[in-house]
Amino acid sequence: MSVPLGVILAGGLATRMGGGDKALLQIGGQTLLQRVIHRLQPQVAGMALNANGDPARFDGFGLPVLPDSIDGFPGPLAGVLAGLDWAAEQGAEAIVTVAADTPFFPVDLVDVLQDTAQGMTHPLVLAATPRGEEKTKSMSRSGLIRHPTFGLWPVALRDDLRGALHEGIKKVVIWTEHHKGREAVFPTESGDPFFNVNTPEDLMAAEAMV
């Protein structure tokens, strides 16, 4: 399986942070986006940033900025579609997505996702972690907690995804389950590798983790 392209998803509204760009918040003297780029770059063949609004605010990062092609902020699937359309232009077969507000994701993310996809006609895999005592809306039938902004996505299904979005499908797992997507399990013994910054309190916690 060839090395995929990477797409950083930063197209959300950041309502719990009071709006604005979470990706540009700083921890340990670096923006969240800088930290995400640093983690993702060694794992992929090239990178782009999915973000809406004026792309000039990201000029300093040297990445192509891909806006959603579906209006109304329909969620991360729109960012995935933007990434797949960009990857198709590059002649790539797949992308890996990561969230711009999750600075500690695994350094072997792509390897584990691709290993899990072995044998699939269209590699479609979401990252997941074992469930503790908590229950979440992202829990799968196998009792895992899925992290739907972290996944391996095939360019071959981009038009299918476009059709699903136009039909009003917004929930990632509805579409991935329809295509029999798999789950790649990452350990949590050393903490949640997909800890993300949603609130000011999370930002303080991330600063402490750095």
Closest CA to 120 of 69, 172, 60, 183: 183
For the stretch 27-56, what's the b/e string if a residue is b when 16 or more beta carbons lie within 10 angstroms of its beta carbon?
beeebbbbbbbebbeebbebbbbbbbeeee
Rounded Cα gap, residues 55 and 11, in angstroms: 11
48 marked as binding residue: no
Residue found under tokens 């229950």: 135
- Could you tell me if 105 and 195 are in contact, meaning their C-beta atoms sit under 8 angstroms apart? no
68 marked as binding residue: yes
Which residues is 147 bridged to in the sheet? 127
22 marked as binding residue: yes
50 marked as binding residue: yes
Q: Which amino acids are annotated as binding site, given as ranges?
A: 9-11, 22, 50, 68, 101
Q: Which amino acids are annotated as binding site for Mg(2+), given as ranges?
A: 101
Q: Which amino acids are annotated as binding site for GTP, given as ranges?
A: 9-11, 22, 50, 68, 101
